[in-house]
Structure 1
Amino acid sequence: MKFRRLISLLIIAAILIAFFTNPKEADFYSFIQPTLGKTGSPPLIEYKSHLIYSEGEVTYFNPTSIDGKKIAAATKEKYIGLFGRFWKTQTN
């Protein structure tokens, strides 16, 4: 029983720490600020905050012209915010 109680307390402690250290939207903007200066056009930034974690998605547009037609190639980067930090999870 002591082992189950210890594991339960560790899980509850991890959830409480994640809840209180959930990064905010301003933290996400300051995290991606260094990469924003490298692009020619401003990216599309989407941010979702959940109870114990947050998600961010940045879509970069690269406008080009082929045969007189304007097109924009886009790349997406997805981030997850947990315990006060952000990690890149996917790049398309």
Structure 2
Amino acid sequence: MRGLIAPASKETRIPKSIYEGIQTINRNLVCMLELQINAYWATRPSHFVLLNAQKLRDTQHMMQQILLSLVHALYEGNPQPVFCQYGKN
């Protein structure tokens, strides 16, 4: 996917940093999900810990919202909502 960043950036005029950020989030998300799946079924206690981890669920929901806003910004060709969302932190 890295090879598609430059052409996509030129075509949409969205900065490369946005695409690189999306790539990083996707990679981290896949790694995190893999680790969670392994931990979820590793032992019975870890299974219940992950079931009851409210902060973990909140973080997953936040990441989902960020990814959806990135998708929408890319679809619309307007990175401004993404910049605004990251500016809130």
TM > 0.5 between the two?
A: no
Instruction: State which structure, 1 or 2, has the greater radius of gyration over its C-alpha atoms.
Output: 1
Which protein is richer in helix relative to its size?
2
Flag the structure with higher strand content: 1
Length-normalised TM-score, structure 2:
0.28
For normalisation by structure 1, the TM-score amounts to: 0.28
